[in-house]
Amino acid sequence: MRVVALGCDKSGYPALLRWGEEGSLPFDEVKIFSLPCLGLVTEEVIFRILENSDALLLAGCPLDSCHNQKGSQGVYLKVKRVNSLLQEADIPKKVAIAFVTSGKVGEIEKVSEELLGREK
Amino acid sequence: MNKLLWLENEAFSFPDFWIEEMERDNGWKIEVKNWGNKPDNFTEYDRIFILGDSFSFTQEKISSLSEEWEVNPLKVRVFPAEEVKIIFPKSFLSILEKFIIQSLSQPLFPVEARRVVPENRVLVLPQLSPALEQTLKKRGIDTIVPPSSFSLQREGINFRLYPSGDNVGAIIISPLEEKKFPISFSSSVQDTRKLVDIEFMEKEIEKRDFRKETIGFIIPKKGVTEKEWRKAFHLSQTLVERDKAEVFILVEEVLVAGENLEKEYRKARSSGVIFEKVDFSKLGTRPTLDMRGIEVEFATERDKLKREVKVDWLVLLPERNILPFKLAPFFCGDKIEGEILPLENPNVLPFFSGIEGIFLCPSEKEDELSLVIKKYLTEGVVREIGRGEVDEEKCVLCLTCLRTCPWEAIEIEGERKKARINGERCHLCGLCASFCPAHAIEIKGLSLENWVSAVSLGGKNESSSFRL
Amino acid sequence: MIIAERKPIKEILSFLGPGEKILVLGCGTCVTVCMSGGEKEARELSSLLRLKGWETKDLTVERQCEPEFNLRAREEIAKVDAIVSLACGVGVQALAECFPEKKIFPGLNTTFMGMPKEQGLWEERCWGCGNCIVHLFGYVCPVTRCAKSLLNGPCGGSKNGKCEVKPDRDCAWQLIYDRLKKENRLEVLYALQPPRDWSTSRYGGQRKMIREDVRL
Amino acid sequence: MSALEEILRRGEFVVTAEVGPPKGTNREVIEKKCTGLQGFVDAVNITDNQTAIVRLSSFASCLIAKDKGIEPVMQMVCRDRNRIALQSDFLGACAWGVENFLCLTGDHQSMGNHPQSKNVFDIDSIQLLQIFKNMRDEKVFQNGEPLKGEIKAFLGAGENPFADPLEFRVIRLAKKISAGAQFIQTQAVFDLEIFSRFMEEVRKMGLDKKAFILAGVIPVKSLSALNYMKNEVPGLVVPDYLVERMREAKDPKEEGVKICLETIEQLKKIEGVRGVHIMAISWESIVPDIVRGANLYPRSGRS
């Protein structure tokens, strides 16, 4: 399973890297990117990314403690929408979002399990 | 020939032959420095790569470095060398090369990292309390007395006050607070007259002895001040030690943040005061049959067991709620300002109201607040001017950006009214761009196309990791 | 402004034949503002269709309800087999009139004429009855906002200021009453409103406006 | 003059009952209900697709009731017919000797069993009253054209004293009366306090002198029925103590009737209330007991 992972450089990206460090990534391939805030991600970005990957894993600040107040909230809504669109169109690809505080990888593991679980 | 600067840190440095190899293959001129011997002039480089753990180099960090070095922040790139080395040792070099190529391929836009410092003057609404006035004066912050009628408009990082036209760097709102008890009591319970506030206890304890009596405290989480906690710790301790009374304190959470508050808490505990974490919603009270006391029923958080205690006195501390403050009447900005309430978000400035430059001042926090504000007013913030741009051709003035921007950075301006991004307020979160239905907003260097191209970079089974 | 919402993806997919070249055509006016058919949504839908295996392009014109704008998309349209139009019903028809030989499918359901109340919330305000009387009702249109278009006061189903038909909507008559009370002009409600002339509404058949003075 | 009007003018405390037509063609249902009410009520009030559920038409049911020698009140709602149909049905009913009409706006179709349908609401109940009044008194249609023939029609309207905005209710009643309503049938009364306050206002405006006001009552069979009305039926106020009483009750049916009788007793005392309208929805059989219990039996009828 080919996965792209995006994290905000405040919380998500560091956590993603930790997660990578701890090795044993459950996917065949992971590409990790950082951006200032997940608020930047649009539905189109997600679709375009999914065009050459199987799943997208987003990692950002917890909803109530986003460095940009509403960034995580914004992307969270989009993720929900995109997933419902993918389902409606029955496209077997997934987006998931993990709310992490920098360095904490537990959430990411949970979410990646989700991705895999859904994949099966 | 591209001239590149690499800033290494002690934790990571390159073998020379790597560099030579890369220079040879790509026709780059790579200059390696470390934080110890930084060059004096950064402007001569096409790109500046910071090799180090990426999470110590957030967007804000890069902005302030670029400001310090007087370079276009788009030229500054962080390559998370450590992580990449740990995660993908084999493919390190190819990832690095790809990263550089990718960075060089990205267009540069005229962006300036600028430190914007607000006016060292604040407006206090609705009115200025003596305590606040004093501490602000002490810190050398001018205050403006709000004129009888006035309106506000954002002006860069500042706010402009009309009609006077003065700018203020920040607005402090000292909101009204309402005291209310976390739980309600039946009239019959109140009839026992054993339901008292802490001031009453304070007085009583001077006058009389509570020998062998049972006293309960109920202390809510919200808005109980340090002072009150201290008082509670102290009183309960005296009751136990002096009068051999039985005291238990029902709380949602104990506040120990504060000058040796924790110590006092421990002292109270070790003296024999019982602290119980309970769920207030499940807390029940009724008078004892003789109406001389109150039966308190609660379930502790530890073991969900229901417990019932008969108390001779029940001391209540009120919860202090900040009432929402309506800014709309004062604002003649584009955005209809809603009600202002404190944010419980550890990642924004304390006392931050949700609108940059506007702070909330809960009672007895004046001093802390004035410290925060002083810092904000003197250091200001570094912003990348020119990152966010609205394509006026495309903009349909739907005001989505205005409504979604968390930082009030959108302004509707001009003859034919168009949305503009106020670079002094923009935090580059990109919410506006990602919501814009007309696809009219671009955050320079973070546009969709870079994204997708970057993602498709790096073939199968070879992971890459880099900042866009 | 005209408010519209996107059709269910399944429905849109059912329109399209396998292997067809698709153009997703956005509209840059009302439906952009109500976030259902602008460039963002057009790009989004076309990338979704691409994920589904279609060859797609996307394009957004100023207003699909104007032939001039539609004709600008001539070349792009010539290259595709079918168009998914993200415009209101007017736009789709205008487009079809410009390109009689093309397969064109509506991507939106046109819902109402209304306004944004807050981010992500739109409410109906006008019904286009062709004879405005809001000034008589505290600037709350009973024709549109009362489920029964009552002109002489609330029905018996108004409770706590909400409508019995859609309990999450305000009772128009509560609003009217409150507003007029504030202005203390309640007496205007005492007047009997005679039966309305609906011929100006669409009940009078398809409507048309001719302004001789501006026809050159 | 219709029998109902005559009895009201005589100053007697009137009793009417609601009769819901069947969801089908068998007229026996109505006939049975009517014979059951024979002698106990002054008129039966026949609903017009109430709660927007399709039933045998009010018009036809009224004729059946007349056959059975019972005075019908024909309900007409504005949901399903425009001014053309309403006027023509009015003429038809008059031609057949129906003399009492209750003009209502009608429940919204989304409440009924054809929520997909398109509603009409060309005019509202008040306008309907006005139209019928003009047809009767001025001999003109709504458009002003003259009509031929005698029209004997006793016009009524509904009013709900319990719906919001409360303050507006009396104003609305006044409008209905000035539009032509001669008798008023209120929503079912459970909360006598609100109702008396309402009647006070009514008397202040002298409306009780201008129209005969019949208070609606509903005998409830069970606690669930009462709760349903309390929570589900908009514009119906049921005080908690009644719910309590029903919960406590050993025999809920009996209790329901008891509550109903007490209510009627109270209503009799309220100045300006000229009768009761019993809405024993799908429990018509209980009406005689209630009339007896309320000492409103026997009915003297038309002299």
- pLDDT tens for each residue of B295-342: 888 888 777 778 888 888 888 888 888 888 888 888 877 777 778 888
Helix axes D28-37, D58-67, angle to 10 degrees: 50
CA dihedral D9, D15, D20, D26 (to 10 degrees): -90
Calculate mean pLDDT across residues D40-64.
96
Which tokens hold the place of B100?
């550089």
Portion of chain C with pLDDT greater than 70, in percent: 100
Chain-centre distance of CA B384, in angstroms?
Answer: 20
What pairing do the DSSP bridges indicate for beta strands B284-287 and B177-180? unpaired
Specify the residue for token string 């505080």: A101
Q: Does A69 touch chain C (CB under 8 A)?
A: no
Residue B461: per-residue pLDDT: 36
Closest CB to C8 among A50, A88, A93: A88
Mutation target vs B (from A10, A42, A45, A52; most B CBs, 10 A cutoff):
A42
> What is d(CA A59, CA A10) in angstroms, rounded to the nearest whole number?
10
Can you say whether the dihedral through the CA atoms of B319, B201, B254, B298 is positive or negative? Answer: negative
A61/B347 CB distance under 8 A: yes
Chain C: give the shortest CA distance to residue A86, in Å: 8
Closest CB to A85 among C43, C48, C50: C48
Amino acid at B441: I
What pairing do the DSSP bridges indicate for beta strands A2-8 and A55-60? parallel
User: Residue C194 falls within a domain, yes or no?
Assistant: yes
C159/D235 CB distance under 8 A: yes
Chain C residue numbers with beta carbons less than 8 Å from the beta carbon of B435 are 35
> Do C and A touch, counting CB pairs below 8 Å (3 needed)?
yes
As a whole number of Å, the end-to-end CA separation of chain B is 22
User: Residue C215 falls within a domain, yes or no?
Assistant: no
| CATH number of the domain residue D275 falls in | 3.20.20.220
Chain A residue numbers with beta carbons less than 8 Å from the beta carbon of B347 are 10, 61, 65-67
Closest CB to A10 among B58, B343, B460: B58
Residue B455: per-residue pLDDT: 63
Q: Does B436 touch chain C (CB under 8 A)?
A: yes
Global pTM reads 0.84
Chain A residue numbers with beta carbons less than 8 Å from the beta carbon of C26 are none
**Please, what CATH class does the domain formed by B2-114 belong to?**
alpha beta
B455/A52 CB distance under 8 A: yes
> What is d(CA B48, CA B103) in angstroms, rounded to the nearest whole number?
10
Residue C53: per-residue pLDDT: 92
Residue D52: per-residue pLDDT: 94
Comparing C-alpha atoms, which of B185, B184, B155 is closest to residue B170?
A: B155
Chain B: give the shortest CA distance to residue C150, in Å: 33
SS3 at position B238: helix
Report residue A75: phi and psi, to 5°: -70, -30
User: Residue D300 falls within a domain, yes or no?
Assistant: no
- Domain coverage including residue D91: 3-293
User: Residue D302 falls within a domain, yes or no?
Assistant: no
Of the pLDDT bands very low, low, confident and very high (cuts 50, 70, 90), residue B366 is: confident
Mutation target vs B (from C29, C36, C39; most B CBs, 10 A cutoff):
C39
Chain C residue numbers with beta carbons less than 8 Å from the beta carbon of B403 are 118-119
Query: A56 Cβ partners below 8 Å, 6+ apart?
Result: A3, A4, A5, A6, A46, A49, A50, A94, A95, A96
Residue C81 burial (CB count, 10 A): 15
Assess whether pLDDT exceeds 80 at residue A119. no
Q: What's the structural domain count of chain C?
A: 2
Q: Does C173 touch chain D (CB under 8 A)?
A: yes
User: Residue D303 falls within a domain, yes or no?
Assistant: no
Q: Which of residues 101-130 of C touch B (CB under 8 A)?
A: 116, 118-119
B461/A29 CB distance under 8 A: yes
Are residues C107 and C10 part of one domain?
yes
Q: What's the structural domain count of chain D?
A: 1
Per CB distance under 8 Å, which residues of D are interface residues toward C? 78-79, 83, 105-108, 110-111, 119, 121-127, 130-131, 142, 158-160, 163-165, 167-168, 171-172, 174-175, 178-179, 187, 234-235
Q: Does C8 touch chain A (CB under 8 A)?
A: yes
Of the pLDDT bands very low, low, confident and very high (cuts 50, 70, 90), residue D160 is: very high
Chain-centre distance of CA B411, in angstroms?
Answer: 23
Calculate mean pLDDT across residues B67-92.
80
Assess whether pLDDT exceeds 70 at residue A44. yes
In Å, how far are B3, B19, B50, B176 from B29, measured between CA atoms? 5, 9, 16, 62
Query: Would you list the DSSP string of B387-405?
Result: SEEE-TTT-----HHHHH-
> pLDDT, tens digit, for every residue of B214-262?
999 888 887 787 888 888 888 888 888 888 888 988 888 887 777 778 8
Q: Which of residues 52-91 of C touch A (CB under 8 A)?
A: 52
Which tokens hold the place of D67?
């056959």
Residue B94: per-residue pLDDT: 80
Comparing C-alpha atoms, which of B106, B186, B157 is closest to residue B382?
A: B157
Chain B residue numbers with beta carbons less than 8 Å from the beta carbon of A14 are 54-55
User: Residue D123 falls within a domain, yes or no?
Assistant: yes
Do the interacting molecules here have an ipTM over 0.90?
A: no
- Domain coverage including residue C47: 2-111
Q: Does C35 touch chain B (CB under 8 A)?
A: yes
Assess whether pLDDT exceeds 50 at residue B462. no
CA dihedral B51, B53, B56, B61 (to 10 degrees): 20
Q: What value does the mean pLDDT of chain D take? A: 94
> What is d(CA B111, CA B103) in angstroms, rounded to the nearest whole number?
16
Report residue B265: phi and psi, to 5°: -60, -50
* Cβ-contact B81, B52 below 8 angstroms: yes
Closest CB to B463 among A10, A30, A65: A30
Report residue D223: phi and psi, to 5°: -60, -45
| CATH number of the domain residue C76 falls in | 3.40.50.2300
C33/B439 CB distance under 8 A: no
Q: What value does the mean pLDDT of chain B take? A: 84
> What is d(CA B39, CA B160) in angstroms, rounded to the nearest whole number?
41
Q: What is the CATH number of domain B179-318?
A: 3.50.50.60
SS3 at position D179: helix
| CATH number of the domain residue A27 falls in | 3.40.50
A4/B86 CB distance under 8 A: no
C10/A42 CB distance under 8 A: no
Of the pLDDT bands very low, low, confident and very high (cuts 50, 70, 90), residue B122 is: very high
Chain C residue numbers with beta carbons less than 8 Å from the beta carbon of D158 are 156
Chain C: give the shortest CA distance to residue A80, in Å: 15
Report residue B125: phi and psi, to 5°: -125, 155
Q: Does C204 touch chain D (CB under 8 A)?
A: no
> pLDDT, tens digit, for every residue of D280-300?
988 989 999 999 999 999 998
Cα angle B30, B33, B34; round to 5: 145
Report residue D83: phi and psi, to 5°: -60, -30
Mutation target vs A (from C5, C7, C9, C16; most A CBs, 10 A cutoff):
C9
Calculate mean pLDDT across residues C18-43.
95
SS3 at position B275: strand
> pLDDT, tens digit, for every residue of D231-240?
888 788 999 8
Are residues C70 and C10 part of one domain?
yes
* Cβ-contact C11, C35 below 8 angstroms: no
Query: D33 Cβ partners below 8 Å, 6+ apart?
Result: D19, D44, D284
Report residue C112: phi and psi, to 5°: -170, 175
Chain A: give the shortest CA distance to residue C51, in Å: 6
Comparing C-alpha atoms, which of B225, B226, B212, B217 is closest to residue B274?
A: B217
Chain D residue numbers with beta carbons less than 8 Å from the beta carbon of C195 are 83, 122-123, 127, 130-131, 142
> How many residues in chain A?
120
D172/C165 CB distance under 8 A: no
Q: Does B91 touch chain C (CB under 8 A)?
A: no
> pLDDT, tens digit, for every residue of B425-452?
999 999 999 999 999 999 988 876 766 6
| B306-311 sheet: strands from edge to edge | B284-287, B294-299, B306-311
User: Residue C191 falls within a domain, yes or no?
Assistant: yes
Q: Which of residues 84-103 of A touch B (CB under 8 A)?
A: 102-103
For chain B, how big is the Rg over CA atoms in Å?
Answer: 30
Portion of chain B with pLDDT greater than 70, in percent: 93
Residue B355: per-residue pLDDT: 87
> What is d(CA D163, CA C156) in angstroms, rounded to the nearest whole number?
5
Amino acid at C178: D
Chain C residue numbers with beta carbons less than 8 Å from the beta carbon of B417 are none
Chain A: give the shortest CA distance to residue B365, in Å: 22
For C41, nearest residue in chain A (alpha carbons): A44
| B195-197 sheet: strands from edge to edge | B195-197, B313-316, B214-219, B246-251, B274-277
As a whole number of Å, the end-to-end CA separation of chain C is 28
Residue D256: per-residue pLDDT: 94
Comparing A103 with D49, the larger pLDDT belongs to D49
Are residues C101 and C138 part of one domain?
no
Q: What is the DSSP letter of B211?
A: T
Closest CB to A44 among C10, C43, C52: C43
Class of residue B27 by CB neighbours under 10 A (exposed 0-12, middle 13-18, buried 19+): exposed
Assess whether pLDDT exceeds 80 at residue B80. no
Closest CB to A47 among C9, C10, C47: C47
Which tokens hold the place of B172?
């402090």
Report residue D19: phi and psi, to 5°: -130, 125
- Which range scores top for mean pLDDT: A15-19, B36-40, D181-185, D238-242? D181-185
Of the pLDDT bands very low, low, confident and very high (cuts 50, 70, 90), residue B88 is: low
Stretch among B93-102, B138-147, C78-87, C200-209 having the lowest mean pLDDT: B93-102
What pairing do the DSSP bridges indicate for beta strands D14-19 and D273-278? parallel
For A77, nearest residue in chain C (alpha carbons): C120
User: Residue D298 falls within a domain, yes or no?
Assistant: no
Q: What is the DSSP letter of B75?
A: G
Calculate mean pLDDT across residues B138-167.
88
> What is d(CA D223, CA D227) in angstroms, rounded to the nearest whole number?
6
Comparing C-alpha atoms, which of B75, B136, B70, B92 is closest to residue B366?
A: B136
Q: Label residues B315-342 b or e (16+ Cβ within 10 Å = b).
A: bbbbbbbbeebebeebbebbbebeebeb
Closest CB to B456 among A41, A52, A74: A52
Chain B: give the shortest CA distance to residue C62, in Å: 9
**Domain final residue, candidates C85, C111, C137:** C111
Are residues C106 and C33 part of one domain?
yes
Class of residue B227 by CB neighbours under 10 A (exposed 0-12, middle 13-18, buried 19+): exposed
Residue C21: per-residue pLDDT: 96
Are residues C96 and C9 part of one domain?
yes
Residue B464: per-residue pLDDT: 46
> What is d(CA B274, CA B265) in angstroms, rounded to the nearest whole number?
11
In Å, how far are B391, D20, D166 from D48, measured between CA atoms? 60, 8, 26
Closest CB to C52 among A44, A48, A89: A89
> What is d(CA B72, CA B65) in angstroms, rounded to the nearest whole number?
10
For B456, nearest residue in chain A (alpha carbons): A52
User: Residue C186 falls within a domain, yes or no?
Assistant: yes
Comparing C-alpha atoms, which of D81, D86, D82, D109 is closest to residue D155?
A: D86
SS3 at position D237: coil
Assess whether pLDDT exceeds 50 at residue C200. yes
Q: Does C50 touch chain B (CB under 8 A)?
A: no
> What is d(CA D135, CA D151) in angstroms, rounded to the nearest whole number?
8
In Å, how far are C194, D88, D235 from C150, measured between CA atoms? 11, 22, 17
Which tokens hold the place of D98?
């129906």
Q: Does A10 touch chain B (CB under 8 A)?
A: yes
- Domain coverage including residue A59: 2-119
> pLDDT, tens digit, for every residue of B41-64?
999 999 999 887 766 788 888 999
User: Residue D301 falls within a domain, yes or no?
Assistant: no
> What is d(CA A100, CA B400) in angstroms, rounded to the nearest whole number?
28
Strand partners, C27: C61
Query: B257 Cβ partners below 8 Å, 6+ apart?
Result: none
